Amino acid sequence: MHGPPGVPGGHLVIPFSNDLPALRSETLNASKKLKSLALIAAATASLGLHAQNFPDGKPITIVVPFAAGGPTDRVARDLAEAMRKPLDGVSIVIDNAAGAGSTIGNAKVARAKPDGHTLLVTHVGMATTPVLYRKLTYNYETDFEYLGMINDVPMTLIGKPQLEANNFKELREWIAKSSGKVNLGNAGIGSASHLCGLLFQSELKAEMTTVPYKGTAPAIADLIGGQIDLLCDQTTNTTSQIEARKVKPYAVTTMKRLSTPALKDIPTLDESGLKNFQVTIWHGLYAAKGTPAPVLKKLNDALKVALKDPDFIKKQEGLGAVVVADKRVEPAEHKKFVQAEVARFGPVIKAAGIYAD
């Protein structure tokens, strides 16, 4: 027998005699196919229905890839509170999947069921880790749905309370004479504190011993306890400690001094002699790739409501952060911004030749 027309070299056998059973089996196959098509249609419809009703009373988990009590955690918790109302009052829980400079938590969300019930709040690490880690299990461009940016946050350079230096000039002198013995904490390779610390060391041309933590909440606790000497961290974590005089503030990382009352007298690194030293950290919201469009729309709408919530804005401003009020709240602009940040940090990191793996 020849194969069916159009199937070169095909081996499908078409019986000429006794073709009734063949017809019957074709009819059976067709009805099976129809049934499975109907099942698929029903499943899609129910998914669509579920997407329309999202969150449907089911809790949402926001994964924070750093330790509880730290700056990323704080942003996520305040945001969760502000997003609850526009998401029909559903409960939003925080899951601190900390470690490896945020890559553990990021991977967890990249692999999560794409139904909008598992989200990620993370910072600039989304753009630095793809360069610092050569063996990531996720792709920052293709494994996430970008939901919009949250805020921009300056950083502060702070020291342990026991440090003899009382201002940046004295700190510089102390670092010069303690060469090689200064302990600088960070939240792991690829974190904001790591990035800020790298730039600081390269500007001062001083090598320090870096001490990684799972977030800057444990790092600041050790700084206060005197186990490490210096830390560069977001104002969302340092403002209250500076206010309570538990740490020594030396400088802020913006070009202009900050207006937050507790921080307004701290000089910039630029005015302290490190010309153009500027590090501002941003946070964004993400979901797993493949989350249905109506769910993404609801989440983005809820984010927009949260970013206009006066309580959220007040809390963030009190911690030195600026809530995003520009086009980066749109998913496509958010993604473009992160891609531009990867392009900005990539060459700097590659030139420094530092890799985490």
Residues that bind ligand ASP (CB under 6 A): 66-67, 70-73, 123, 186-187, 191-193, 215-217, 233-234, 237
Tell the smallest beta-carbon distance from residue 77 to ligand ASP (Å). Answer: 11
Residues 295-299: contacts with CB under 8 Å, at least 24 apart: 295/51, 295/54, 295/115, 295/116, 296/116, 296/145, 296/147, 296/331, 298/54, 298/55, 298/87, 298/116, 299/87, 299/116, 299/119, 299/147
Task: Please identify, using beta-carbon distances, which residue of 193 and 260 lies nearer to ligand ASP.
Answer: 193
Pick the closer one to ligand ASP by CB: 152 or 233: 233
Give helix 331-352 / helix 192-204 axis angle, nearest 10°: 40
Q: How far is the CB of 220 from ligand ASP (least distance, A)?
A: 9
Provide, rounded to whole angstroms, the least separation between the CB of residue 163 and ligand ASP.
20
Q: How far is the CB of 348 from ligand ASP (least distance, A)?
A: 17
The residue written with tokens 């946050």 in the block is: 153
Name which of 87 and 136 has its Cβ closer to ligand ASP.
Answer: 136
Q: What is the dihedral of CA 250, 253, 257, 259, to 10 degrees?
A: -100
Q: Nearer Cβ to ligand ASP, position 151 or 234?
A: 234
Which CB, 136 or 192, lies closer to ligand ASP? Answer: 192
User: Which residue, 27, 125, 114, is CA-closest to 292?
Assistant: 114
First CA to last CA distance, the chain: 60
Q: Could you tell me what percentage of the chain is helix, strand and coil, using 3-state DSSP and rounding each to the nearest 5?
A: 45, 15, 40
Residue with tokens 């793996």: 357
Q: What is the CA 160 to chain-centroid distance, rounded?
A: 28
Q: Which is nearer to ligand ASP, 212 or 273 (CB)?
A: 212
SS3 state at 145: strand
Residue 34 and residue 51: Cα distance in Å, rounded? 25
In angstroms, what is the minimal distance from the CB of 258 to ligand ASP? 17
CB of 210 to ligand ASP, least distance (A): 12
Instruction: Tell the smallest beta-carbon distance from residue 48 to ligand ASP (Å).
Output: 37
Residue closer to ligand ASP (CB basis): 198 or 295: 198
Place of tokens 């630029």: 270
